[in-house]
A and B are shown apart, each in its own frame.
Chain A
Amino acid sequence: MTSDALPEHDPRFDSVDAVRDRLRSVDYLSDEGIAGIVYLADRLGKPILVEGPAGTGKTQLAKSVAEITGARLIRLQCYEGLDESKALYEWNYKKQLLRIQASRNEADSASWDDIEDDIFSDEFLLTRPLLEAIRAEDPVVLLIDEVDRVEVETEALLLEILSDYQVSIPELGTITARQIPLVFLTSNNTRELSEALKRRCLYLHVDYPDMEREKEIVLTKVPGVSETLADEIARIVRSIRQLELKKSPSVSETIDWARTLVLLGVDHVDTETAVATTNILLKYQSDIAKATKELTAEPAGVKRPGAPGAPAR
């Protein structure tokens, strides 16, 4: 198993509840699953792959964990076409050339071997996020954000780091981490990640929060929002998410909506207000139309047949 050769570290958290409380102290509202897996990742020294719809707090989780552990956040933002030279390291060619030229003038004293040793040394290495995280002396959290955006082939770059916390550089040898950083990979699930990558990670699916948690998020994130308003907002969002939409409102959209309502001085969301502001929650015209229709419809389909208070048979 992987952990044998790696340096031991003191656990960062005492219990699952401790993770939850500390996250709450930096305004991140987790649930049992999220907190449990962060705790486990620390104990097992394994990366976490966080998958789920956009705007559900995946990136924020990594940031918040960095904050509560007093670690520096190192972020690798993925995009199509990302390669080794941007993710891991690159040799500083310009500087190398200058060095070679300079040596010519040095009256031929240095042999080529010396020069080669010299130009492939640390001084000429440009460190990119992955290598930076491995070499860090201080505590770090490594965030590999939106990993689903790189090509499958590029995933291979990550495998060595994720299983052994080391990087092999042909000219320098293998560089091993001095400490096991907490590593988060996020994915908006626009494509399936490779099995090899998934096998190395703990898997956390984050979905839209339940109503209670979303209400809490609104209360912590939106200054000036009242308890009743937060409650209404969370309920309406829950109802809207039950509709079949092209894109359900995300947590960040809920927060935006709540902020707008507070700015407008709203203390109770009536039908008109809801309809007038759904464009903040929903991005597609067809979704807005659908939500408007559903929220304002006389609840004919909602009422059940049968007289009120029909006796239980």
Chain B
Amino acid sequence: MSDTVIDPVADDDGGDPVAGDALVDLLNGFIVELREAGLPVSLTEHLDAMEAVRFIPLDDRSAFKYALAATLVKNHAHWRAFETVFEVYFSLRGAEYAIDPDAELAELPEDVESGDARDGAGQAPANAGSGEALTPEELAQMLYQALLQGDDAMMRAMARQAVRRYAGMEPGRPVGGTYYLYRTMRNLDLDGMLEQMMQQSREDAPEPLTPLEERLEHDEYENRINQFKQEVEAEIRRRLVADRGVEAMAKTLRKPLPEDIDFMHASRKEMISLRKALQPLTRRLAVRLARKRRHGRKGPLDFRNTVRHSLSYGGVPAEPKFRYPRPAKPEIFVIADISGSVAAFARFTLHLVHAIASQFSRVRSFVFIDGIDEVTRFFEGTEDIVEAVHRVNTEADVVWVDGHSDYGHAFEVFWQKWGTEVGPKTTVIILGDARNNYHASQSWVIKEIRHRARHVYWLNPEPRAYWDTGDSIVGEYGVHCDGTFECRNLRQLEGFVDHLV
């Protein structure tokens, strides 16, 4: 059948045609999943990947992964998303990855089967697999030894054992991987093991460990423990995929791209990747904005100027002159709620706005919870925006009564102290979810500000569907603004800033 199919993998030289056809389908499916995860894969790149796998076989799992990544992922920030899709999609392909209880036995290193664990087998005949025969104490002991010696193979074997024993995975049960991870970890007391290993190091050392040595030992053990955790996660993932199928799992485990991570619900890990993504984003934005300004719109023909110039060409209008509209750079006031759940959003926005401060004549920043403070001083005279944002969080004087957001009071104080400084060149950007803890809104302040200012915009990190529910009163303020924007992630934030300039 294959002679009518145009198959870029199995063409003339070298490719095994049978493997080729299957591989094309496999790869097509994989790329569908990548696109579902938001990764931009072009047609050229798809074709390149097909070329690439002619030379790097699937059985060499990690080389295969690098080959696909090299052709399909051109942005390092997207690596994590790629890797997750890869792990899920290919988790059960390849002999060594099959989930087969017998295969697993064969995989356990020698000493597991031949060691003391044998004795336990008699006590638990109901469980056929010999791995089950380990008592919890034995399993803990073997894991401890594996970690202490940094024995990779043993750590992997222990990860599988731990998942089988503790995760309590049942076919068809609709719970997520984190639940199984939690159940597995709860039974292992890795913190205790870390401390125990440290104790061991202290005892083995001829002299008391110096703080530096303590730290190095600690980092080493922590590294091994993290590696073990990853093995546990991988094992859970494989079992989930075996149970529910690739497509379903790819959906649940999909990692958002950094630009799509929700500010309000980012995990610690996600925060780190968000912070990393912020820098290239600000650079990109700055370049784009500067260019916009430079090659800005050409205005209408400046007739007089053209004629004046034509005199030097003997009256020929050789050089048409245009009017360049040069709008004055706006002055920006950012007024940001920095309480609890919206703090991260405020941090990112302040960072972004100050990183492109040269696009504006001036940027002034105010932060509030129930009190309000100007924090412009932290950003001026320093290159280090991260540090400045950090100072905003730790040094700004923003608590008035109880440290629960009170937009009304904060706005009132703003108006008294700085209201007259808002002028026709000022663009005011207010950041927050407008959850006002049922205080008075004082929305008249926004109305007044808008009278004086060039523009007033409101950015809300909550999904639009939640606006004006519960104690959110964004609508009450919104009527006095030139625009209210949903700003849940970097992508939306970037879009807004683009619009701003």
Please report A residues at the B interface, Cβ cutoff 8 Å: 1, 16, 32-33, 36-37, 39-40, 43-44, 46, 49, 51, 152, 189-192, 195, 198-199, 201-205, 232, 235-236, 238-239, 242, 246, 269-271, 274, 294-299, 302-304, 306-313
Binds A, one of B95-103, B183-191, B237-245, B340-348: B183-191
Is A303's CB under 8 angstroms from B198's CB?
A: yes
Residues of A within 8 A of B66 (CB): 32-33, 36-37
Given A271-B212, A299-B214, A302-B214, check contact A1 B47 (CB 8 Å): yes
**Does B192 count as interface, using CB distance less than 8 angstroms?**
yes
Q: Which chain B residues numbered 126 to 140 have a C-beta less than 8 Å away from chain A?
A: 136-137, 140
Of B51-59, B298-306, B328-336, the stretch lying at the interface with chain A is B51-59
Verify B211–A152 contact, CB threshold 8 A.
Answer: no
- A306 contacts B195, CB within 8 Å? yes
Contact of A192 with B283 in the complex, beta carbons under 8 Å: yes
Number of A-B residue pairs, CB cutoff 8 Å, is: 131
B194 on the interface (CB 8 Å rule)? Answer: yes
Instruction: For B45, list chain A residues within 8 Å (CB).
Output: 199
Closest to A274 in B: B212
User: What is the bound-complex CA distance between A271 and B208, given in angstroms?
Assistant: 13
Rounded to whole angstroms, the CA-CA distance of A303 and B211 in the bound complex is: 11
**Which of A1, A32, A270 is close to B62, meaning CB atoms less than 8 Å apart?**
A32
Which listed residue, B71, B191, B220, touches A235 by the CB 8 Å rule?
A: B220
List 8 additional contacts besides A40-B56, A191-B284, A235-B216; criterion CB under 8 Å. Answer: A199-B44, A203-B69, A239-B215, A295-B211, A296-B212, A303-B198, A310-B195, A311-B189
A-B contact pairs, 28 of them (CB 8 A): A1-B47, A16-B63, A36-B66, A36-B70, A43-B55, A44-B48, A190-B283, A191-B283, A192-B283, A198-B74, A198-B75, A199-B45, A199-B74, A202-B70, A203-B69, A232-B216, A238-B219, A246-B384, A271-B210, A298-B211, A299-B211, A302-B218, A306-B195, A308-B198, A309-B196, A309-B199, A312-B192, A313-B189
Interchain nearest-CB distance for B137 vs A (Å): 7
**Do A235 and B73 touch (CB < 8 A)?**
no
Q: Known contacts A36-B56, A235-B219: does B42 contact A199 (CB below 8 Å)? A: yes
A192 pairs with B196, CB closer than 8 A: no
- Kindly list chain B residues whose C-beta atoms are within 8 Å of the C-beta of A312: 136-137, 140, 187-189, 192-193
Give complex CA distance A281, B193 in Å.
Answer: 33
Partner of A44, one of B52, B194, B195, B212: B52
Q: Residue on B with the closest CB to A239? A: B219
Known: A274-B212, A296-B211, A312-B188. A40 touches B284 (CB 8 A): no
